[in-house]
């Protein structure tokens, strides 16, 4: 089974947890000779979707700038990895993160998804992050969730 892993998608939100998940994905890719797709789902804030009393051009300009920032942040997030050794393809989806991650996994014919258990919000009250939980339940392929080494679960 492990020899069948040729494409790994690592979902990142630029948090420290997703950095650790990316390190795991890159180590696995190195051992398996797999390629890595580093994926970020860009969710447009509701206020930018509703032109109501705002100018549509202003909203479009704001969205374009926000997307450009995400592209630059994703590139910076992957810059430390040796692209000659492991193929890193940074990709961005636009929409609900769990939906975009699952769709990207299908689009890129992914064999394994790697992601942090908790993203930017890092809610300690949850056993696993809501995006990670939905991906685990709905993905067509195995999902490896990686927790931050400093994360401590405490019973209420």
Alpha-carbon torsion angle 62, 66, 69, 71, nearest 10: -120
Q: Which two structure tokens, joined as six digits, stand for 79?
A: 């810059």
Give me the residue spans of the domains in the chain: 2-146
Per-residue pLDDT of the chain (156 residues; tens, 9 = 90+): 566 999 999 999 888 888 999 999 999 999 999 999 999 987 766 555 555 545 555 566 777 787 788 888 888 888 888 776 667 777 888 888 899 999 999 999 999 999 998 655 444 444 456 888 899 999 999 999 998 776 655 555
What's the burial of 46, exposed, middle or buried (CB within 10 Å: 0-12/13-18/19+)? exposed
Q: Are 100 and 66 in contact (CB under 8 A)?
A: no
Q: Quick check: 148 and 18 in contact, CB under 8 A?
A: no
Q: What is the pLDDT of residue 128?
A: 52
Say how many CA atoms lie within 13 Å of 129 toward its Cβ.
24
**Domain 2-146 listed as CATH 3.30.530.20:** no
Which pLDDT value is given to residue 60? 67
State residue 53 phi and psi, 5-degree precision: -100, 5
Report the DSSP pairing between strands 35-42 and 112-116.
Answer: unpaired
* pLDDT value of residue 47: 56
Backbone angles phi, psi at 10, to 5 degrees: -115, 120
Predicted pLDDT at 123? 46
Sheet containing 35-42: which strands, arranged edge to edge?
88-94, 35-42, 7-11, 112-116, 143-146
């Amino acid at each position: 089974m492990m020899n069948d892993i040729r494409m790994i998608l690592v979902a990142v939100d630029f948090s420290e947890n997703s950095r650790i998940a990316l390190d795991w994905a890159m180590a696995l890719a190195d051992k398996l000779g797999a390629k890595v797709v580093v994926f970020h789902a860009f969710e447009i804030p509701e206020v930018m979707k509703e032109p109501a009393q705002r100018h549509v051009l202003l909203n479009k300009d704001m969205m374009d700038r926000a997307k450009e920032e995400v592209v630059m942040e994703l590139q910076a997030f992957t810059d430390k990895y040796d692209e000659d050794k492991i193929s890193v393809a940074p990709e961005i989806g636009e929409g609900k993160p769990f939906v975009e991650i699952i769709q990207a996994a299908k689009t890129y014919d992914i064999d394994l998804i790697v992601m942090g258990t908790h993203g930017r919000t890092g809610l300690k009250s949850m056993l696993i992050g809501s995006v990670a939980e939905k991906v685990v339940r709905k993905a067509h392929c195995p999902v490896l969730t990686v927790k931050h080494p400093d994360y401590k679960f405490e019973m209420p």
